[in-house]
Chain A
Amino acid sequence: SQTIHQWPATLVQPVGSPLSLECTVEGTSNPNLYWYRQAAGRGLQLLFYSVGIGQISSEVPQNLSASRPQDRQFILSSKKLLLSDSGFYLCAWSSRGSGANVLTFGAGSRLTVL
Chain B
Amino acid sequence: GAVVSQHPSWVICKSGTSVKIECRSLDFQATTMFWYRQFPKQSLMLMATSNEGSKATYEQGVEKDKFLINHASLTLSTLTVTSAHPEDSSFYICSAPGTSGRANTGELFFGEGSRLTVL
**Interaction A to B:** no
A-to-B contact residues, CB < 8 Å: none
